Amino acid sequence: MRQKSLDFLRKLLETPSPSSGEAAGQRVWLDYVSEFADETGSDAYGNSWAILNPKGSPRIMVVGHGDEIGFQIQYISEEGFLYFAPVGGPDPALARGQRVHIHHEGKKTLGVVGSLAVHMQERDKKPEVPAWHDLFIDIGAKNRKDAEKRAAVGDLVTYTAGFEQLNGDVYVARACDNRVGTFVAAETLRLASELKGIDVCLIAVSTIQEENGLYGASMVGYSLQPDAALVVDVGHSTDMPLANAKRFGDIKLGKGPVLNRGSVNHPVLVERLAKTAKAKKIDIQLSIDARWSGTDADAIFKQRGGVPTAALGIPNRYMHSPVEVIDLGDLVNLSEWLCAFTAGVKEGEKFKVKI
For the segment 269-315, what is each residue's pLDDT rounded down to a tens digit?
Answer: 999 999 999 999 999 999 999 999 999 999 999 999 999 999 999 99
Note the pLDDT of residue 121. 83
Note the pLDDT of residue 117. 86
Q: Sheet harboring 258-261: ordered strands across?
A: 39-42, 48-52, 201-207, 59-65, 228-236, 309-316, 258-261, 285-288
Tell me, yes or no, if 210 is annotated catalytic: yes
Residue-wise pLDDT for 310-339, tens only, equals: 999 999 999 999 999 999 999 999 999 999
CA dihedral 21, 43, 62, 336 (to 10 degrees): -70
Note the pLDDT of residue 292. 95
Question: Residue by residue, what is the 3-state secondary structure of the chain?
Answer: CCHHHHHHHHHHHHCCCECCCCHHHHHHHHHHHCCCCCEEEECCCCCEEEEECCCCCCEEEEEEECCECEEEEEEECCCCCEEEEEECCCCHHHHCCCEEEEEECCEEEEEEECCCCHHHCCCCCCCCCCCHHHCEEECCCCCHHHHCCCCCCCCEEEECCCCEEEECCEEEECCHHHHHHHHHHHHHHHHHHCCCCCCCEEEEEEECCHHHHCHHHHHHHHHCCCCEEEEEEEEECCCCCCCCHHHHCCCCCCCCCEEEECCCECHHHHHHHHHHHHHCCCCCEEEECCCCCCCCHHHHCCHHHCCCEEEEEEEEECCCCCCEEEEHHHHHHHHHHHHHHHHHCCCCCCCCCCC
Whether residue 96 is predicted with pLDDT greater than 90 in this model: the reply is yes
- Per-residue pLDDT band at 154 (split at 50, 70, 90): very high
Q: What superfamily does domain 70-159 belong to in CATH?
A: Peptidase M42, domain 2 (2.40.30.40)
Whether residue 153 is predicted with pLDDT greater than 90 in this model: the reply is yes
Question: Is pTM beyond 0.85 here?
Answer: yes
Whether residue 118 is predicted with pLDDT greater than 90 in this model: the reply is no
Note the pLDDT of residue 127. 78
Domain ranges of the chain: 3-68+174-344, 70-159
Instruction: Report percent pLDDT > 90 for the chain.
Output: 95
Note the pLDDT of residue 324. 98
CA proximity to 92, closest of 136, 126, 140: 136
User: For the residues 144-155, what does the mean pLDDT come to?
Assistant: 98
CA proximity to 268, closest of 325, 241, 306, 219: 306
Catalytic choice (22, 210, 211, 336): 210
Q: Which distant-in-sequence residues (6+ apart) come within 8 Å of 251 by Cβ?
A: 235, 236, 237, 238, 239, 245, 258, 285, 287, 313, 315
- Per-residue pLDDT band at 152 (split at 50, 70, 90): very high
- Mean pLDDT of the chain, nearest integer: 97
Q: Which distant-in-sequence residues (6+ apart) come within 8 Å of 303 by Cβ?
A: 218, 221, 222
Domain 3-68+174-344 and domain 70-159, same fold? Reply is no
Instruction: Report percent pLDDT > 70 for the chain.
Output: 100
Note the pLDDT of residue 40. 98
CATH hierarchy code of domain 3-68+174-344: 3.40.630.10
Whether residue 197 is predicted with pLDDT greater than 90 in this model: the reply is no
Note the pLDDT of residue 294. 96
Whether residue 355 is predicted with pLDDT greater than 90 in this model: the reply is yes
